[in-house]
């Protein structure tokens, strides 16, 4: 089964899938307003999404990347991330950034693709999210910022 990844408008992205990766609706709505949106379909069914947003002329940030829970652990996320790197280059970026928690599978996922930590934002999740975020029984507190040079 092949994966079809294509650009789309924000209204085409399933909000429940976006909220899998970022559970705070106001943040999701804010970056959708001016984001570059992409969806992945397999056999006509949406199985993944990602959103890029310009941070500067040369830098894009991966704001959201999510795979339907029933389709995880099948390489779809990796294909989406590789497509995001390609799309960022096509959009003229020389750097791609992403922000994530300080532990968990997402951090490993980004590091495997070559992104490296360049900053820590202490207490970010405590200060910016109304509800505590937990993963594997641990509360997310600090946020890491990672980047990769696209040249």
Is pLDDT of 25 > 70? yes
CB-CB contact of 135 with 81 (8 Å): no
The answer to whether 35 touches 13, Cβ cutoff 8 Å, is no
Q: 37-75: per-residue pLDDT in tens?
A: 999 999 999 999 999 999 998 999 999 899 998 888 888
Backbone angles phi, psi at 135, to 5 degrees: -145, 130
Query: Looking at residue 29, what is its pLDDT?
Result: 92
Query: Do the Cβ atoms of 23 and 64 come closer than 8 Å?
Result: no
Cβ burial of 142 (10 Å; 0-12, 13-18, 19+) is middle
pLDDT grade for 1, boundaries at 50, 70 and 90 = low
Hunting for tokens 């959009």 — which residue is that? 91
Residue 110 structural domain: 4-149
Q: How many domains does one find in the chain? A: 1
Query: At 89, is the pLDDT very low, low, confident or very high (cuts 50, 70, 90)?
Result: very high
Sequential DSSP letters for the chain:
---EEEEE-GGGS-HHHHHHH---HHHHHHHHTT-EEEEEEETTEEEEEEEEEESSSSEEEEEEEEE-GGGTTSSHHHHHHHHHHHHHHHTT-SEEEEEEESSSHHHHHHHHTT-EEEEEETTHHHHH-SS--EETTEE---EEEEEEE--
CATH at residue 29? 3.40.630.30
Predicted pLDDT of residue 131: 85
């Amino acid at each position: 089964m092949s994966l079809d990844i294509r650009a789309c408008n924000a209204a085409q992205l399933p909000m429940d899938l976006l909220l899998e990766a970022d559970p705070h609706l106001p943040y999701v709505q804010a970056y959708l307003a001016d984001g570059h949106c992409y969806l992945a379909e397999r056999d006509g069914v949406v199985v993944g999404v990602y959103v890029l947003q310009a941070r500067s002329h040369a830098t894009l940030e991966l704001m959201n990347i999510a795979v339907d829970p029933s389709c995880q652990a099948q390489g779809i996320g990796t294909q989406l991330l590789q497509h995001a790197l390609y799309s960022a280059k096509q959009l003229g970026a020389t750097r791609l950034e992403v922000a994530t928690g300080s532990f968990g599978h997402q951090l490993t996922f980004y590091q495997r693709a070559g992104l490296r930590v360049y900053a820590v934002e202490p207490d970010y999740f405590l200060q910016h999210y109304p509800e505590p975020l937990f993963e594997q029984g641990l509360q997310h507190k600090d946020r890491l910022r990672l980047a990769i040079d696209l040249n």
